[in-house]
Amino acid sequence: MSDSKPRARTTDATNYTMADLKDLASLLGVTPTTKDTSTDKRKRGYDGNVVRLKVRTEKRRGKVVTIAQGFQSHPKELHDLLALLKKTFGTGGQVTDNALELQGDHVERIKAILIEQGWSIHTK
């Protein structure tokens, strides 16, 4: 024997070529599970519960302000969302106490964008 490397024993099971994970499941005797596409994709807060946002308008100094509150997110995420809304609506706004404030009446438009991004909305 001129071969210095030890050879591993081979059996029929080790020579089995698998095309995909279904073959692995059948080899192990496990039934594959399919990913459930109906899972809840809504945003969740720090406590794991679904976050329900409230979107409303107020009058301040004779002007209308739209307020979206109830966020349990990282401040960076709120500032990014505010930047998107300000750019989309062409208006000013700010983040105060985990709430987004935008100048003007944009309740329905904010609601549509937030629902599209996975937030659960309660309008008042």
Q: What is the pLDDT of residues 69-115, one digit of tens each?
A: 888 878 898 899 999 999 999 999 999 988 899 999 998 998 888 88
Average pLDDT over residues 22-42: 63
pLDDT given for residue 14 in this prediction: 58
In three state form, how does the secondary structure of the chain look? CCCCCCCCCCCCCCCCCCCCHHHHHHHHCCCCCCCCCCCCCCCECCCCCECEEEEEEEEECCEEEEEEECCCCCHHHHHHHHHHHHHHHCCCEEEECCEEEEECCCHHHHHHHHHHCCCEEEEC
**Could you say which architecture CATH assigns to the domain 52-123?**
2-Layer Sandwich (3.30)
